[in-house]
Amino acid sequence: MSSTTADLLHDDHHDKPRGLKRWLFTTNHKDIGTLYLWFSLVMFFIGGTMALIIRTELFQPGLQLVDPQFFNSMTTMHALIMIFGAVMPAFVGLANWMIPMMIGAPDMALPRLNNWSFWILPFAFALLLSTLFMPGGAPAAGWTMYAPLVLQTGDAFPFLIFSIHLMGVSSVMGAINVIATILNMRAPGMTLMRMPLFVWTWLITAFLLIAVIPVLAGAVTMLLTDKYAGTAFFNPAGGGDPVLYQHIFWFFGHPEVYILILPAFGVMSQIIPTFARKPLFGYASMVYASCAIAFLSFIVWAHHMFTVGMPLSGELFFMLATMMIAVPTGVKVFNWVATMWRGSMTFETPMLFAVAFVILFTIGGFSGLMLAITPADFQYHDTYFVVAHFHYVLVPGAIFGIIAGVYYWLPKWTGRRYSEFWGKVHFWLSFVFLNVTFFPMHFVGLAGMPRRIPDYALQFAEFNMVSSIGAFGFGLAQLVFLGVVVHAVWFSKEKADAKVWEGAHGLEWTVPSPAPYHTFSTPPDPRLMTTEAHS
Amino acid sequence: MNPRAPVRTALKLLAMTAAMFGFGYALVPLYDVICDITGLNGKTGRIEQAAAEAQGPDTSRSVTVRFVTSVNAGGAWRFEPAVPSMTVHPGGVYQAVFVAENTRPRAVVGQAVPSVVPREGSLYFKKTECFCFTRQPFAAGERRELPVRFVVDRRLPEHIDTLVLSYTFFDVTPDEGSS
């Protein structure tokens, strides 16, 4: 890109507005990334508070704190907020901040769309959270919104549907922007196979988003018309079928779980080479493995619904296809371990989170393989074993990926170093309490404790008490994280240099810290691409 | 780079988004087709009277057809088969009778939804006439016999000797809304 085009897209000389207007009208990828990340952090604490209400109720058997309807609202809202409000926006925030700097672009390709896709989110979640105060209560049919149960939702129902629509519009616009940026805005010399893996995994994630978010939008629209417009997509009395909803939902839902994890894979592939001081092992195989995972994610959806009654051939197909995902995922785990092998490893906070990610995500992957075995799944289905499984892939997977990325790039964003001591405190508290919370759930699940029920049989009491204690510990540990971030953004005195980490490679480390408001207004020297590629 | 290039990419992606929204809806007829082919959900077929009679009963074989009834949540019928089961010859046309009584003191409309197990057998269970083909209005407290004429196709696989025909009654009274 010539510098004149850059000027055309971005006038460096104007004064940026101050105060609220700066954030409302900003088209700067760094500002928007920051907005996304703060928004995500707020949602993380709201969703976390809901999780703690759940764990408080489950601290002891019996019904003591909340009524069952509200308990189910909490499980539903916790999931919706964590998935759509915390994890997805955090990854879009990281993408906004880092993708242009990693590929040597001056900004995202469609800056105004970028502004819009962020500012839809506060409205979407205001709609969703407002349902807590509505007659009939907040949605309580589970985040999967299965018909016909979800149709019994009270006044909250249309608000639930429209908030899902808005979140979907925001994600799709974000995805379009990411793809348009990566395909069009790479600096000369930044070929596809030189792109950092975070950029690669986000490119794949963005295509997944475009493929499946509209399907979710269709599914919830069908729910809406079933309830209000007399259609009968999921109503057998009118010729429909509730099982059809599950098929459509999981056609979205399974790729969605890779949307939640692929960008974390990307972050890991940036961090591990930096602190192992070795280039990433098997770069090309990482790219192909990510593509394979994305492809397979489209043909495994029915493993979420083995118990609905499916022909044996269908069960076998979905079981085997699901197990096949372990192959490319195994390639990735192997590559991360091989990158660390005989590296000069140091364990700064991002690396601690990255190593924990590799270990704990793999545990979650293994329990996923157990769930993939159809005959065994009939016992595990809808038990706490499933809860343990997806929390092991989402908390030390997606959430640790985000947190590791934040620690890794925070000095680049703020120009100040965070407190390494408190970062490590945050890590160890999170690591210990995460396992205290979720590991016992495997046992109670295998013993038959069902999900989404506010009471349980007495034999599950001890493990549930342990889980609840762990949950509060994990929650408190995140306040340490908040403290570290606030300190690093506003109070830290320790300046960070451009490179920040001794072993870091990549274009983002060639710009000063904090990264100036506009970076790469003129493209970087193409020679950098070869020396800095494949960090 | 052409400054319009990102816009062009975005428009292509927008078209993809629209197509995938349509694909979500296309899954509805696709699902019905797959159910028809595989017998999934035990959806039963329809056949013309003449075609059914043309088969002629295969008296060398007997198949037991059991009848199961249920009323969906929100409905208020007493709903039972007149006989719990029948023994039929494949290819023969038979009539079974169900009895439904509206226990509400007001008029209601019902819709019966059939299902046959085993799944494999449902492909061979065909009806020429059925009370489930149309909505059934009931006056307050009305009790009525509901007939179904069916034929079990002669091609029913040898290993199937029992079919279960189930009907669920749904309340579809206008303004009341179904469940």
pLDDT digits (tens, 9 = 90+) for B77-122: 999 999 999 999 999 999 999 999 999 999 999 999 998 988 888 8
In a domain, B176, yes or no: no
Q: Please report whether residue B98 resides in a domain.
A: yes
Instruction: Tell me the C-alpha to C-alpha distance, in Å, between residue A331 and each of A180, A204, A282.
Output: 29, 17, 9
Q: Which domains does chain A have, with CATH numbers?
A: 31-532 (1.20.210.10)
Structure tokens at A75: 């499980």
Contacts of B170 in chain A (CB under 8 A): 235-237
Burial B41-74 (b: 16+ CB within 10 A, else e): bbbbbebeeeebeebebbeeeebebebebebbee
Do B12 and B55 reside in the same domain of the chain? no
Q: Beta-carbon neighbour count of residue A232 at 10 Å?
A: 17
Q: Running DSSP on this structure, what letter comes out for residue A449?
A: P
Same domain? For B74 and B152 the reply is yes
Contacts of B114 in chain A (CB under 8 A): none
Question: What is the domain extent for residue B140?
Answer: 42-171
Size of interface A-B (CB pairs under 8 A): 103
Residues of A annotated as catalytic (active site), given as ranges? 78, 107, 143, 170-171, 254, 256, 258, 269, 303-304, 329, 332, 451
In this structure, the answer to whether residues B52 and B66 fall within a common structural domain is yes
Same structural domain, B130 and B94: yes
How many Å from the N-terminal Cα to the C-terminal Cα in chain A? Answer: 24
Beta-ladder partners of B115: B166
Question: For A177, which residue in chain B has the nearest alpha carbon?
Answer: B10
A227 to chain B nearest CA, in Å? 9
Q: B151, B52 in Cβ contact below 8 A?
A: yes
Report the CATH number that the domain containing residue B104 is assigned in CATH.
Answer: 2.60.370.10
**B30/B69 same-domain check:** no
Could you tell me if A459 and A384 are in contact, meaning their C-beta atoms sit under 8 angstroms apart?
no
Cβ of residue A176 closer than 8 Å to a chain B Cβ: yes
Residue A5: is its pLDDT beyond 60? no
Instruction: Specify the residue for token string 């009274």.
Output: B173
Cβ-defined contact of B172 to A238 (cutoff 8 Å) = yes
Predicted confidence (pLDDT) per residue in A441-455, tens digit: 999 999 999 999 999
Task: Identify whether residues B49 and B5 lie together within a single domain.
Answer: no
Asked if the Cβ–Cβ distance from B179 to A1 is below 8 Å, we say: no
**Region A501-516 average pLDDT:** 93
B111: part of which helix (H) or strand (E)?
strand B108-117
- The verdict on residue B16 lying in a domain is yes
B25 touching chain A per CB within 8 A:
yes
**In terms of domains, do B76 and B12 share one?**
no
User: A385-421: string of b/e by CB count within 10 Å (b at 16+)?
Assistant: bbbbbbbbbbbbbbbbbbbbbbbbbbbbbbbbbbbee
- Look at A470 and A3; give whichever has higher pLDDT: A470
What's the gap in Å between the CA of A186 and the closest CA on chain B?
9
- Interchain CB contact of B23 with A (< 8 Å): yes
Residues of chain B with pLDDT under 70: 1, 175-179
Q: Mean pLDDT throughout A2-17?
A: 51
Identify all chain B residues contacting A248, using CB atoms and an 8 Å cutoff.
Answer: 24, 27-28
Nearest to A218 among B3, B24, B38 (CB): B24
pLDDT value of residue B179: 42
Based on the fold, state whether residues B34 and B51 are members of the same structural domain: no
ipTM of the complex: 0.91
Domain count, chain B: 2
Phi and psi at residue B173, to the nearest 5°: -55, 125
Cβ contact (<8 Å) for A110 and B6? yes
Task: Choose the mutation target among A215, A243, A310 for the interface with B, i.e. most B CBs under 10 Å.
Answer: A215
Which one-letter amino acid corresponds to residue B24? G
Nearest CA in chain B to A9: B3
Q: What is the Cα–Cα distance from A33 to A47, expressed in whole angstroms?
A: 21
Q: A531 falls in which pLDDT band (50, 70, 90)?
A: low
Is B125 within the bounds of a domain? Answer: yes
Same domain, B34 and B46: no
User: Closest approach of chain B CAs to the CA of A234, in angstroms?
Assistant: 10
| Segment A132-157, tens digit of pLDDT | 999 999 999 999 999 999 999 999 99
β-pair type (B63-71, B143-152): unpaired
Cβ–Cβ below 8 Å for A237 and B41: no
